[in-house]
Structure 1
Amino acid sequence: MILAFIGIGQVGFALAHALQQKGHHIIVAVDRPSETVSKALSQNANFEAKPLQEAIDRAEVVFLATPFQANEMLLQSLRFNGKILVDCTNPVGPGISHGLMSTISGSEKVQEWAPDALVVKAFTIYGFENFADSTFPGYNVKPVMMMAGNDRAAKDTVASLVTDLGYEPLNTGALDQALHLEHMTLLWVKMVRRDKHHPGLVWAKLER
């Protein structure tokens, strides 16, 4: 599958590199030359770089892995024409709080700013370390990757990428559920980044 990445920092690179290793073709969407893009291209010579709109036009699925505060201006200048947009971003406010005061999810704002995209929230409930490596030797369950979105077919496509990366996909429902996934992200960040739990901390789905 051809995947475009808008944002190739720690989260974007971890996902892009892991997906490239699974046989997907990665396009780094570039709006301007940067040290981050240069570093990503040097770390994986199989990536290619294209201007933002060209990368989106060529991709089957687009990943958004930018700082949340950059999203409004960025997305309003782009055309997605019905493409799947995987929202990997989180609105984080002061003191590791929800940046939109829990009144609406960041993903719903992303959908508002990119109305011609099929937005799916995914790859946000852990830190980048677990996107780089999803293996947990000694356990007989896979880590779960929760997602939310309004389009079932789009979520099924994203679920296939989740499975490629070694996770158990879990459809939590419509895009408004992204608010709760963002709170799970804040929980993980507070536990790991603030309170020093091991960064390999993940959740699992157990169903009787």
Structure 2
Amino acid sequence: MKLAFIGIGNVGLALANNLQKKGHEIIVAHNDSKNETVQNALHNNHNFTTNKLQEALDLSDVVFLATPFSANEEILKSLKFNGKILIDCTNPIGKGLSHGLESKTSGAQKIQEWSKDAKVVKAYTIYGFENLMNTSFPKYNVKPLMMIAGNDSVSKKIVSKLNADLGFETLDTGHLDQALHLEHLTLLWVKMVRRDGHHPNFTWAMLAS
């Protein structure tokens, strides 16, 4: 598939690199091709191409949003998605590692509000970028879990296929309002690792009888 990335920092680059290795075409979406993070991504992987934001969206099958949450409204309101899947990889983190929207709604629901013609799926937010760079845990006979949420079942099936390419097992947690709880899982991970010094290379897994 052709995958456009809005945001190609640590999270976006980790996902894009691994998906490119699985045969997907990566388009870095940015209106300034000389941007430092864009240039770093192109230097890191010569198979990436770059296009302006709307052009990249028009060319792509699926769009990844991996920007700082505070930038999302301004970016998204100028774009037309025409029913394409928009994977929300962002998190609204506030002061003191709190939920940036005071847990009144999820960041993903705001993303859907700002991009009404997109099919938003929340994914790739419950871990840090380290776990997106390397999903292999060879000591265990179980795949790491990626929890997702979204309102459109077909879109979630496509994201589940991307999860499989990345080495994750998918757990569909339900509609997009469930993204609020996934964002709380993010805060749990961030506080454990970034604040309290827990080693980052751990993930959730699902065991079912």
> Into which bin does the TM-score normalised by the smaller protein fall?
over 0.9
How far does residue 14 in structure 1 lie from its aligned partner after superposition? Answer: 0.3
**1:201 corresponding residue in structure 2:** 202
Q: Could you tell me how far apart the structure 1 residues matched to 2:115 and 2:36 are?
A: 27
Separation in 2, partners of 1:163, 1:172: 17
3-state SS of the aligned residue for 1:140?
coil
* 1:20-39 map, 5 Å: 20-32=20-32, 33-39=34-40
1:57 aligns with 2:58: yes
User: Which structure 1 segments of 5+ residues have no match?
Assistant: none
SS of the equivalent of 1:86 reads strand
Cα RMSD, aligned residues only: 0.5
Query: Pairwise mapping of residues 131-146 of structure 1 onto structure 2 (< 5 A)?
Result: 131-146=132-147
* CA displacement, residues 115-167 of structure 1 (integer Å, 9 cap, x when unaligned): 00000000000000110110001101100000000000000000000011000
Partner residue, 1:11: 11
SS in 2 for 1:95: helix
User: 1: distance between equivalents of 2:51 and 2:207?
Assistant: 41
Matched residue, 1:124: 125
1:3: Cα distance to partner? 0.2
Query: What is the 5 A alignment of 1:110-189?
Result: 110-189=111-190
Distance 1:186 1:201 in 2: 15
CA distance in 1, matches of 2:110, 2:36: 28
Partner of 1:85: 86
Q: 1:183, CA displacement in angstroms?
A: 0.2
1:40-98 Cα shifts (integer Å, max 9, x gaps): 00010000000000000000000000000000011000000000000000000000000
Distance 1:176 1:110 in 2: 12
Matched, 1:45 2:51: no
In 1, distance between residues paired with 2:180 and 2:42? 33
Number of aligned positions between the proteins: 208
* 2:203 counterpart SS class: coil
Tell me, what secondary structure is at the counterpart of 2:96?
Answer: coil
TM-score w.r.t. structure 2 length? 0.99
Q: Percent identity?
A: 65
- State the distance in 1 between where 2:97 and 2:35 align: 27
1:201 deviates by 1.4
Separation of aligned partners in 2, 1:115 and 1:207: 36
Separation in structure 2 between the aligned mates of residue 19 and residue 133 of structure 1, nearest angstrom: 12
Cα distance in structure 2, aligned partners of 1:129 and 1:162: 16
CA distance in 1, matches of 2:148, 2:119: 13
1:192 aligned partner: 193
Tell me the TM-score normalised to structure 1 length: 0.99
Which amino acid in the other structure matches residue 10 of structure 1? N
